[in-house]
Amino acid sequence: MKNRSNVILEEYDNIKEDKLNYDDYVGKGAAFIVTPTNAGQIFSRENLSEDHELIESSAKEFGVKRILPVNEELNKLNKDLTFDIFREVGELGFLGIDIPEEYGGSMLDKVTACLVIEGLCSGKNASINVTISAHSGIATLPIVWYGNEDQKKKYLPKMASGEWMGCYALTEPNAGSDAMAGEMSARLNDEKTHYLLNGQKIYITNGSWSDVCVTFAKVDGGKYTAFIVDKDCPGWSTGEEEHKMGIKGSSTTTLYFEDCKVPVENVLGKVGQGGAIAFNGLYVGRYKLGAATAAGSKSAIKEALDFANDREQFNRSISKFGMLQKKFADMVIRAWEADTIVYMTAGSIDKFLNNVPHDEKYFDVLQKSIEDHAIEASIAKIIGSEALWKNVDDGVQILGGAGYIEEYGFAVLYRDERINRIFEGTNEVNRLIIGGYTLKKSILEELPIRNMINQCKTTSWVNRVEMDNVELQESCNIVEFSRSVVLFTLDELILKYGQDFKNEQWVLEPFADMVICLSLMDTGFKRVRQLDVNSEKYKNMKLVMDACVYLRFSELINHSKDIIRNIDRSGSPLMQKLNNELNDLVIEKDIISLKQEIANVLYNKKEYFLD
């Protein structure tokens, strides 16, 4: 009898070619893998409504006028000031963006949630932003999505207003990325009125300040279950504040549960449903973190440029030196990539939800849509956090010795940014998600990936797309070639490993990076394609997009070659196939000239110029 893996592999080899209707994949997760450059629409900042812009402006104003003046005070633990600002954010409605109106929120779209996060980042304080984001995201959403009516009425209004602060307690001493290995236990008491929780959770943001905690424990030793714990539950205590590398103004503690009595009515969702509850909230946290880090990567550009324009060496401003101009160009490209992927992701989820009625099934559909966009959420988290990391690092280098001095601000940024590659799932775990979900969508035919692979095998290896705008043709050709390389590489990996590919991390990681590269090229291209070709924004953004396409293409090809060399060591006919196709691709882009032009525009605008 054939095992399931062999059956799936045989089905995979017998792909049927069907005509594709790309409109069917609008609002679907990972649609960028299959949707050609001349099809589909993506959401970007250019699609913001007046309401979007008004809310973003309000959040920015609060950041600049309220948070920025007390920035230094918020860089150390200051509970009273933090709570004052936290409640003011609640009064403005920013804590309730994802909470339904009947529970004190506004239930606005996912794009708005990202705009609020980015707007508050204008206050340039990571600590207060982490406090707010942890509360309004992973601490609140599980109750919104899985809470029953009584739970929602009890907790959400006070969480929306800022009267109560929430935390999300998942990590344990022996369970970090492997969250399901958690050992905290929950036992029903003899009276069957309360669960008794025993264990500890570590590194909990808002831990010592929270009134409400969403946490997880194994019922009867095996059923992973979510609970709402509040200050009325005896047996819940907090440890000392952790002495952290960065985000020093936020609370991070260990939580101790010692026969903590949690009423049975505080079980969140169903007993045994804790895994889904734990992970679904993290998907949202990832693209929201992408919004925050994209904002920070833009801000770092202006901070470094202001210094470079004032600093003189060898009788001229250091901003005139080519090596620093290259750094600034790279900073713009990274920030633009992060911004583009975040709003594409949020906009795609919103697009899918537009026609979903707000009935009792709405949150079930919403969760499925968000999980469907797991690849995009992980990409947004990775690209945003790595853009901020590299932009801050470049900023320190541009400032030189001043970058190492506390008063100039980059030292704080340097410490604060490091956490972003760790929480909401490490970037390594997120790369596993990207590779694993791409495999899943292919094998289960959630997207027509197998169909497109078959077209590559039987017709043209590269989809030939003709653009009306000839200025975009070369980048279009590169993006479509890259799409074929991703499909070609995925095909060979599946044929080599089958479903075990998801466990082959040496090749899964570079393949995930290929998917990331394709997402940035494809999404960036479509963003530019949608612009008015006569506008200044089109001219400026096309420079950045062309540079992104060139750089990410080079990275993608290198990853593909590394994988092919590893899985085909018999003289490499696969490598020969790839090289033959590469020889037919014409690339005339001059990356040095592109970066010079990007730097020139930045110097004229004096700040990031593509919002």
Q: How far apart are the first and last CA of the chain?
A: 58
Q: How many Å apart are CA 493 and CA 500, to the nearest integer?
A: 10
**Which positions are catalytic?**
424
Q: Are 406 and 318 in contact (CB under 8 A)?
A: no
Q: Are 213 and 255 in contact (CB under 8 A)?
A: yes
Dihedral of the CA atoms 185, 190, 192, 196 (nearest 10)?
-30
How deeply is 567 buried, as exposed, middle or buried, from its count of CB atoms within 10 A (0-12, 13-18, 19+)? Answer: middle
Q: Can you tell me whether residue 218 is helix, strand or coil?
A: strand
DSSP 262-288: EEGGGEESSTT-HHHHHHHHHHHHHHH
Q: Which helix (H) or strand (E) holds 135?
A: none
Q: Which helix (H) or strand (E) holds 57?
A: helix 50-62
Q: How many Å apart are CA 130 and CA 356, to the nearest integer?
A: 31
Q: Which amino acid is at 372?
A: D
Q: How many Å apart are CA 439 and CA 494, to the nearest integer?
A: 8
Q: How many Å apart are CA 106 and CA 94, to the nearest integer?
A: 9
Sign for the CA dihedral angle at 510, 516, 518, 521 comes to negative
Where would I find the beta strands (DSSP E) of 485-610? none
Plot region of 549 (φ>0 → left; ψ -120 to 50 → alpha; else → beta)? alpha
